Amino acid sequence: MSAKPAKPAKHVPQRTCVGCHTVLSKRTLIRLVRTPEGVLVDPTGKLNGRGAYLHNHRSCWERGLMGVLQHALKVELTAEDKQRLEAFMDSLPTGNDAE
């Protein structure tokens, strides 16, 4: 008797953190999206607009807010955008041990 053929592995979308350039599965990263209302954190990953991804590490967010995020989203961050994103960043762990 022959064994059943193995099921092919399910495709897992990969994205790159704009802060540290590490490639991980889409679900492990936090999506930020450019909308007409400004740059927002997209917890669902389904908002319309240009998106960029960051780790849940404060160090990646700090690098992202220094200008890399603006380049990835092709937008100039307003003071309101920076304040909103920094407030979210403050809730993140400081070390690289959180996943």
Adjacent-strand bridge partners of 31: 42, 53
Radius of gyration of the CA atoms of the chain, in A? 17
Do residues 26 and 45 lie in contact, with contact meaning Cβ atoms separated by under 8 Å? Answer: yes
**Domain count of the fold of the chain:** 1
Over residues 43-61, the pLDDT tens digits come to 998 999 999 999 999 999 9
Domain of 40 in residue numbering reads as 14-90
- Identify whether 33 is part of a domain: yes
CATH at residue 45? 3.30.1230.10
pLDDT reported for residue 1: 61
- Identify whether 99 is part of a domain: no
- Identify whether 1 is part of a domain: no
Inform me whether the pLDDT recorded for 99 exceeds 50. Answer: no
- Identify whether 21 is part of a domain: yes
Inform me whether the pLDDT recorded for 86 exceeds 90. Answer: yes
Give 74 or 7, the one with higher predicted confidence. 74
